[in-house]
Amino acid sequence: MSVELRPWTDQDYEALVHICNHIDRTYLSDTIPNPYHLEDAKEYIAIANQSEGQTGIYRAILNDGKIVGNISVVKKKDIRKKDSELGYYLGKEFCSRGIMTEAVRQILLLSFNRLDIIRISAYTFAENIASQRVLEKNGFIKEGIARNSFFKNNQIHDEFLFSILKEGVK
- Give long-range contacts, CB 8 A cutoff, 24+ apart: 22-27: 22/91, 22/92, 22/93, 23/89, 23/90, 23/91, 23/92, 24/92, 24/95, 26/125, 26/128, 27/124, 27/125, 27/127, 27/128, 27/131
Cα(142)–Cα(123) distance, integer angstroms = 9
Q: Give the pLDDT score at 1.
A: 73
Confidence (pTM): 0.95
3-168: in CATH 3.40.630.30: yes
Average pLDDT of the segment spanning 114-137: 97
Q: Give the pLDDT score at 63.
A: 95
**Is the per-residue pLDDT at 170 higher than 80?**
no
**Is the per-residue pLDDT at 115 higher than 90?**
yes
Q: Give the pLDDT score at 101.
A: 96
Q: Give the pLDDT score at 47.
A: 96
Cα(64)–Cα(81) distance, integer angstroms = 35
